[in-house]
Amino acid sequence: MTIADTATSELVVEPGVVGSLGALLRARGVTGRAFLVADSNVLRLHGAAAKHSFDAAGISVAVREVPAAESSKSLAMATRLYEWLAAERTERRDFLIALGGGVVGDLVGFVAATYLRGLPVIQVPTTLLSQVDSAIGGKTGLNLRVGKNLVGAWHMPRLIVVDPLLTRTLPERDICSGWVETIKHALLMDEELLHDLEAHADELLRVDPEWTANVVARSGRLKIAVVHEDPREQGRRIILNYGHTIGHAIESVSNYRLHHGEAVAIGLEGAGRIGVAAGVTPPAVLERQRALIARFGLPAKAHGLAMAKVRATMNLDKKVEAQTLTWVLLEAVGRPTVRRDIDEDIVQRVLEELVVA
Q: For residues 340 and 327, is the Cβ–Cβ distance under 8 A?
A: yes
Q: How far apart are CA 52 and CA 262, in angstroms?
A: 35
Active site residues: 117, 139, 181, 223, 233, 237, 241, 244, 248, 260
For 253, half-sphere exposure in the C-beta direction (CA atoms, 13 angstrom radius) is 25
Q: 209-242 b/e with 16+ CB inside 10 Å = b?
A: eebbbbbbbbbbbbbbebbbebbebeeebbbbbb
3-state secondary structure 195-241: HHHHHCHHHHHCCCHHHHHHHHHHHHHHHHHHHHHCCCCCCHHHHHH
Give the distance between the most distant pair of CA atoms in the chain.
62
Q: Closest Cα to residue 20, out of 47, 48, 57?
A: 57
CA 257 from chain centre, in angstroms, equals 17
Q: For residues 305 and 250, is the Cβ–Cβ distance under 8 A?
A: yes
Residue 32 CB neighbours (<10 A): 15
Amino acid 78 reads A
